[in-house]
A and B are shown apart, each in its own frame.
Chain A
Amino acid sequence: MNPNEFDVIIIGGGITGAGTQRDCAMRGLRTLLVERSDIATGATGRNHGLLHSGARYAVNDAESAEECIRENMILRRIAAHCIDETDGLFITLPEDDLAYQQTFVDACRKAGIGAEIIDPELAKRLEPSVNPALIGAVKVPDGSVDPFRLCAANMLDAKLHGGQVRLHTEVTRFIREGDTIKGVHTRNRQTGEEADYYAPVTVNACGIWGQHIAQLAGVKIGMFPAKGALLIFAHRVNNLVINRCRKPSNADILVPGDTVCVIGTTSTRIPFEECDHVAVTPDEVNLLITEGAKLAPSLSETRILRAYAGVRPLVSADDDPSGRNISRGIVCLDHEERDGLKGFITITGGKLMTYRLMAEMATDMVCKKLAVEKACATAETPLPGSEEKSYEAVAQKVWESPTTAQKAAASRMGTRASRIRSANRHDDDLICECEEVSVGEINAAIERLDVSTLTDLRRRTRVGMGTCQGEFCACRAAGLLAKAHGCVERERKDLADFLQERWKGNFPIGWGDTLREAEYTQWIYKHVLGI
């Protein structure tokens, strides 16, 4: 058997690609996933991290709402260690129409979403950070989800089922025979190494970049890049997701996640050329702060850690410039049927919330093409790490009397925390103090989760995501990576890239403590450490 031959090749290491690989691998297919960068670098890692209850879509898009609540309940079962079951509020402020609340609740109930009108006073007790001026509140089963963790867990499970993953590997062209795609030609962007891989079916799961991949394959998909900007605050201001109870608009969702909270988003149409370099503008920052403070007034006084933006992979339906009125519906294209091109599928549209359903649809199509008859089991099978629901119970099992740092590790890794080596007493040393990440956890990630750079490591462990934004931990972690990869020179460049990446998200919000920290980082790396 040729080691470069597979049953299916999946292009794209976001949540859709990772989910599709997992599903295919669980149905017994030999899978390869190629990603030109790292996992979750596109829209997957650049959103709210909101575990939608579907309530946001209930009034305008019943189909999305129903999909969301179904997947919401499934993810609680299969991805416990990636999810924080916070619940959410939809609040009505004096400037909003309270009559909308009933329309909203009726639509939620119709979609199967448990929405409950509560007394504003109770809402204030449940969520002390909420704007005390609220005149109405509805409680819904929202939550938060760590998209990096979810993506890594799907990919890991695919690997446990025999799948192969090639990160930092770009598809440069398709291998085509007549009207059939036979495989892909790839190039590793770090080593320059080129390789051909073959499979009877290739899945395009590249989000907004799917248009480009389709073009490479010789088919046309019209996509609609809509930028959404978000801000991360340095504290977990709220414990419940806070939404505005009105027609979806800008900056009306505040999501708590791990040690921080995230406000977003905006929606602006951008040209395709900008998709690789989306930047947050001062106007967007101002809008996010102003609107965010209406949900939780303390946000106007809270330090902002970062600004970032993602591009929604919407398939164009009409010429609406805001991108809000078209459904975020799932698009699964069989290019044989659509364009007469065999062996090629595109799965796009949708959202983080519905990735599993998208993966199921794509995998069903792959299986049909390969004449494989095996039912999808992803809705019932927990992801690796999620076999146990409570991270505290996990920590207890692994460490007997766990420290707070060990509990933090268990909350990130779930049952896989048992893989953290603790043979050496120095494995408990903390590398990242903000997020309490230990040497052992970092080494476990390097060993099992395809880490080649500090930024990759950040996505898998939260190293450098905290208040210091990597100022202190980047060097320490770089030392561990240099040791693991046996190459300091590469790590030196990696460290510079990591600091540049952090700065990119800092300067749009560069004032107050953020600018203080930035000045300190600049000084330390340039003048004290001598990068």
Chain B
Amino acid sequence: MGGGLAGMVAGIALQQAGKNTAIVSTGQNALHFFSGSFESLHAPSERLAELFSAAGIRVHYRDGVRLMPLGTFKDAALSLDDIDLFPSPKFGKRVLIVNFLGYHDFFSSFIAEGLEKQGMECRIRFLNLQELDKTKAHGEMRSVQIARSMDRIWEKVAQEIRLLLKDEDTVILPQVFGLSDTTVPGRIRQAIPARVVFVGTMPPSVPGIRTQMLLRKRYQLLGGTFLMGDEAIRAHEHEGVVHSIATQNLDAHYLEADNFILATGGLFSKGLRSNPFQIKEPILNLDIDCPEDRNNWYNPSFAGEQPYMGYGVKTDAQLHAVKDGIALKNVYAIGSILGNTRPELGSGAGLAIGSAFAAVDQILRCTQNDNEEPATPVILSEAKNL
């Protein structure tokens, strides 16, 4: 349940291990506002590196910092190849920042100010592309619309940038390249005789959407069933075991399985829901530790840590979801539905991946054990014959 990063990683790992899986996904998920960096992860484990590489997702890591869209720097984390990681914030001398005229979701002046603070010289230029006028005529100019054009006209853009370039050693561009053609960011880098740094925009995140598409492709190639545009609405549980789930689109056709993974996300993704009195998990009504007095849910300071963002479903050591104080034997909760109840598994994208692998391992261990047990029905029938 849930086709975000956690659900996709779990699905792919299980398919690879020879399991038969289905993913129920509404379509939109946290990858649509992905920064391009996997928070709380550093160098990838061999397992993750293999999974990403087989899906065509190229990642890298080095100690240092990354440049954020408002011109600030954050510690490096495992990142998509689009995202540059620098040993220190002063990564160049002279920087050309290029934006598209009429595009307001890329914050060039903030980036320039951030870099100037580090002692870099910045020049901001706007490209006035007729091709984008058409995009605009059909609606607003946002990252994905521009990225669709860029898949076609990136060569022209690279040429225009070459003309703009004077003595700058670095060119900064918005992350609007390589939405469907994943080779475009690399080709832009080759076509421009300076270091090209792609910096994030206001969501939707182009690298995030691309990552989502690659993961889905890989999952389906491995034989997984991806139920797009659907969501789980109810689970049928008996004595601590879930037998099947009902979904929005499949009506009375229930999905049956040996194991269920709940990767439906946090509040924004509706994996958790809230009303004035409580925070709830809508499919199974799982246990959540959340103070009754709503006043405790919030930090009045926007900048501070928000308690409500930490509330998540309760799990046991093996990530079995807990309902009415009892761990459900075949239901696992992973990803941001956990809030920060499992800080040892990381946060953000790191939590999604860490908890997905942990749940997958647990499922694989359990099914191995099951296979070793003798098949009881056979013994029964033999006894009868005697």
Contacts and interface: CB of A to CB of B under 8 A. Distances in A.
Interface residues of A, number: 46
Contacts of B297: 507, 510
B86 interface: no
Contacts of A426: 101-102
Contact of B303 (A431, A472, A500, A518): A500
A531 B110 CA distance: 10
Interface string B39-66: 1000000000000000000000000000
A522 B294 contact: no
Nearest to B105: A476
Interface string A89-122: 0000000000000000000000000000000000
Nearest to B126: A426
B275 to A, nearest CB: 5
Given A519-B266, A519-B268, A530-B74, 10 more contacts: A282-B276, A489-B113, A502-B302, A507-B300, A516-B268, A516-B270, A523-B33, A523-B268, A524-B203, A527-B348
A483 to B, nearest CB: 7
Contact of B275 (A425, A431, A511, A520): A511
A528 B303 contact: no
A488 interface: yes
Interface of A: 282, 285-286, 425-426, 429-431, 433, 439, 472, 475-476, 478-479, 482-483, 488-489, 491-492, 495-496, 499-500, 502-504, 507, 510-512, 515-520, 522-524, 527-531
B308 A510 contact: yes
21 contacts: A282-B276, A282-B295, A429-B136, A429-B141, A439-B104, A476-B202, A488-B109, A491-B110, A499-B302, A504-B300, A507-B297, A510-B274, A510-B297, A511-B294, A515-B267, A516-B267, A517-B268, A519-B306, A523-B33, A529-B107, A530-B69
Interface string B222-238: 00000000000000000
A524 B109 CA distance: 19
Pairs A-B, 5 closest by C-beta atoms: A530-B68, A488-B113, A503-B302, A507-B298, A476-B104
Contacts of A472: 202
Contacts of A510: 274, 294, 297-298, 308
B133 to A, nearest CB: 8
A482 B309 contact: no
A509 B110 CA distance: 32
B205 interface: yes
Contacts of A529: 68-70, 107, 200, 202
A284 B180 CA distance: 51
Contact of A515 (B34, B113, B308): B308
A303 to B, nearest CB: 12
Interface residues of B, number: 48
Q: Is the interface of B mostly helix, strand, loop or mixed?
A: loop
Contacts of A518: 306
Most B Cβ at <10 Å: residue of A507, A518, A530: A530
Q: Is the interface of A mostly helix, strand, loop or mixed?
A: helix
Given A430-B140, A528-B69, A530-B68, A475 B107 contact: yes
B275 A522 contact: no
A479 B109 contact: yes
A286 B276 contact: yes
B33 A528 contact: yes
B217 to A, nearest CB: 24
Contacts of B34: 528
Nearest to A520: B268
Nearest to A430: B140
Most B Cβ at <10 Å: residue of A502, A504, A518, A529: A529
B135 interface: no
B33 A520 contact: yes
Interface in B120-148: 136, 140-141
Contacts of A519: 266-268, 306, 308-309
A439 B141 CA distance: 13
B381 interface: no
A282 B300 contact: no
Contacts of B101: 426
Contacts of A528: 33-35, 69, 200, 203, 205
B12 interface: no
A516 B265 CA distance: 12
A499 to B, nearest CB: 5
A518 B68 CA distance: 21
A481 B32 CA distance: 28
Contacts of A476: 104-105, 202
Nearest to B306: A522
B72 interface: yes
Contacts of B74: 530
A500 B72 contact: no
Contacts of A425: 102
B176 interface: no
Contacts of B113: 488-489, 492
A492 B117 CA distance: 13
B302 to A, nearest CB: 4
B275 A479 contact: no
A204 B187 CA distance: 66
Contact of A531 (B70, B202, B273, B309): B70
A429 B104 contact: yes
Interface string B169-205: 0000000000000000000000000000000101101
B112 interface: yes
Contacts of B104: 429, 431, 439, 476, 479
